[in-house]
Structure 1
Amino acid sequence: MAEHVTIHEVGPRDGLQNEPGVISVADKVALIDLLGTSGLTDIEVGSFVSPKWVPQMANTPDVLTKMTRVAGCTYGVLVPNMRGWDSFAPFAGGPFEVAVFISASEGFSQSNLNCSVAESIVRLTPVVSAAEAAGVPVRGYVSCITDCPFDGPTQPESVAKAVADLRSVAPMQVSLGDTLGRGEPARVATMLDAVLDIAPADQLAGHFHDTGGQALENVSVALEKGLRHFDSAVGGLGGCPYAPGAPGNVATEAVLAHVTALGYTTGVDGDVITQAAALARSMKG
């Protein structure tokens, strides 16, 4: 029997947040609703962050209110601090998952969060506690798993420590982000070996950007190491606004074709994903 790979669609959040202008609520909802018909079970739909710093996500509450909630699908929202939690709290009874994030590098943490990695753990701990108290699942993100735009190459031990620190707060799944898209398969393998010493493969996900054209090779490496969860964005949109020169999440349609060709099942309709990719590419703020 073929093994299953779960695709975590991040287009409506990580994909659209890097657009120069704000995407309308109607357009975001149309994309999310189309994705919801594809068989995806995990879709990241927004974030509760300061509109001053990420204006593209300011309409997240309206998106959550108006989108169609498909049975069996979990919808992820990024909640970096308790101010964000207070804004998210009215939705805590729905099919939502809270995502928290840290960096494996100090330079990126200071640029993105204006604090050290250790301080970022302190900030997110009450968010995790509030989510657990409300019965909301939590997922973690670690950025800069191979390279930092400020510090250069990231040591595998730093990534392992970041994962361990997150999972010491709660036993969450952790998505490992190649934020710059510079990760080479050999370096990704070395990093994964270090992380797998402190977390099981089924509690890890690969989040690869295709800036360097090696995202699918890195997916293959992660599959060989036992990972079965991968983040991707329809149309290959997105990136991090705080990581200069790092556009382009790996495209969902490419990951879907890749893992299917390798013999894995996903439960995702490729025709719908193709339609969603075209819709995502047409969205400009």
Structure 2
Amino acid sequence: MIQLVECPRDAMQGLPDFIDTAIKAAYINQLFEVGFHTLDFGSFVSPKAIPQMRDTAEVLEMLDLHKAKSKLLAIVANVRGAEDALHFQEIDFLGFPLSVSETFQQRNTNATISEALKTVESIQHLCEAKGKKQVVYLSMGFGNPYGDPYSPELIAEFVEKLAQLQIETVSISDTIGAATSELITELFKVNTQAFPQITFGAHLHSRPDAIEEKVMAALKGGCRRFDGALKGYGGCPMAKDDLVGNMATEVMVETLEKEGYDLGLNKSELTESLKLAQFVFNY
């Protein structure tokens, strides 16, 4: 079964102009109607670091959850953020960005990789106590622009450490849109076979013309969980390429359905969500 994760948080977080809280909530409520597996809807991080997400708690209060089929995921960057997120029963998953690049870990969470792994362990204990699940994102999972060490073997070492902590979902992230199809297939094939107890996701950034190719490569490697954002909005500022954004969800849906996967989505509500995205993101 395919797990499709829609990421309005990732699409919004880098925008310079603050999106009104009511508009955020209305957009997420519309996304609920589509039937995605999970919505990556907000984050509990420093408002100085990500001012766009400073109203995540307020957005949550405005969500219509009584008929929502999608699960909710919030990103956290430290134990304090995890504790804040765990105050809300409505949140199912806490996502933590663990980088395989020392430079990016410092830039992203102001911590070393060693410190970040300790944070993952602490958050895992908190999640287990509260009946929640942690999703670990392996940032710079397909290479980095800093000259830091990288290899598929390094990814396997990180996954082994996460497996020892009983992490059940690991999303390999192509932060700068550098992944080749060959590397995507290789990484997922090796890890899905070595760690069958873990659900591996693909959080890939891509130029629009490469989305179908990358989805197919991940499928070939055994990946069955995909992150995206409608219209491909968002991405990493360090990509230094305006065309390298999130994988456009509508393109992924088309690709997966061509391959015979029944995603269980409400297509008319997906169309409405695409229209609302044009308004939210000022397209």
TM-score normalised by L of structure 1: 0.90
Residues 31 and 175 from structure 1, CA distance in 2 versus in 1: closer, same or farther, beyond 3 angstroms? same
State how far apart, in whole Å, the 1-side matches of 2:241 and 2:194 are. Answer: 31
State how far apart, in whole Å, the 2-side matches of 1:223 and 1:140 are. Answer: 20
Please list the CA deviations of residues 217-252 of structure 1 after superposition, one character each: whole Å capped at 9, or x if unmatched: 121111112221111111211113465547410111
Residue 256 (structure 2) pairs with residue 264 (structure 1) = no
* Aligned position for 2:98: 102
Partner of 1:214, secondary structure, is helix
State how far apart, in whole Å, the 1-side matches of 2:128 and 2:235 are. Answer: 29
* Aligned position for 2:35: 39
State how far apart, in whole Å, the 1-side matches of 2:157 and 2:203 are. Answer: 18
State how far apart, in whole Å, the 2-side matches of 1:157 and 1:64 are. Answer: 39
Please list the CA deviations of residues 47-78 of structure 1 after superposition, one character each: whole Å capped at 9, or x if unmatched: 00101111111110001111111343210001
Q: Which runs of structure 2 are paired with 1:240-251 in the superposition (5 Å)?
A: 240-241=236-237, 244-245=240-241, 247-251=244-248
* Aligned position for 1:74: 71
* Aligned position for 2:161: 165
Q: Which runs of structure 2 are paired with 1:121-200 in the superposition (5 Å)?
A: 121-151=117-147, 154-200=150-196
Partner of 2:5, secondary structure, is strand
* Aligned position for 1:214: 210
Aligned residues: 280
Partner of 2:25, secondary structure, is helix
Which residue identity lines up with residue 6 of structure 2 in the other structure? E
* Aligned position for 2:229: 233
The structural deviation recorded for 1:121 is 0.7
Contact map agreement 1:97 1:137 (CA 8 A) in 2:
yes
Please list the CA deviations of residues 164-203 of structure 1 after superposition, one character each: whole Å capped at 9, or x if unmatched: 2223222321111111112110122232244335322861
List alignment gaps of at least 5 residues for structure 1: none
Indicate the larger mover: 199-208 or 57-66: 199-208
Percent of pairs with identical residues? 31
Residues 149 and 280 from structure 1, CA distance in 2 versus in 1: closer, same or farther, beyond 3 angstroms? farther
* Aligned position for 1:84: 81
Indicate the larger mover: 75-84 or 105-114: 105-114
Partner of 1:8, secondary structure, is strand
List alignment gaps of at least 5 residues for structure 2: none
State how far apart, in whole Å, the 2-side matches of 1:189 and 1:142 are. Answer: 16
Residues 142 and 199 from structure 1, CA distance in 2 versus in 1: closer, same or farther, beyond 3 angstroms? same
The structural deviation recorded for 1:284 is 4.5
* Aligned position for 2:250: 253
The structural deviation recorded for 1:145 is 1.5
Contact map agreement 1:209 1:250 (CA 8 A) in 2:
yes
Contact map agreement 1:175 1:207 (CA 8 A) in 2:
yes
Residues 31 and 140 from structure 1, CA distance in 2 versus in 1: closer, same or farther, beyond 3 angstroms? same
State how far apart, in whole Å, the 2-side matches of 1:33 and 1:212 are. Answer: 26
Which residue identity lines up with residue 50 of structure 1 in the other structure? S
* Aligned position for 1:283: 280
* Aligned position for 2:49: 53
Indicate the larger mover: 149-158 or 172-181: 149-158
State how far apart, in whole Å, the 2-side matches of 1:119 and 1:25 are. Answer: 33
Query: Of residues 13, 17, 25 in structure 2, which corresponds to 1:17?
Result: 13
- The answer to which structure, 1 or 2, has the higher relative contact order (CA under 8 A, 6+ apart) is 1
The structural deviation recorded for 1:152 is 6.6
Which residue identity lines up with residue 39 of structure 2 in the other structure? I
Contact map agreement 1:201 1:227 (CA 8 A) in 2:
no
Partner of 1:129, secondary structure, is helix
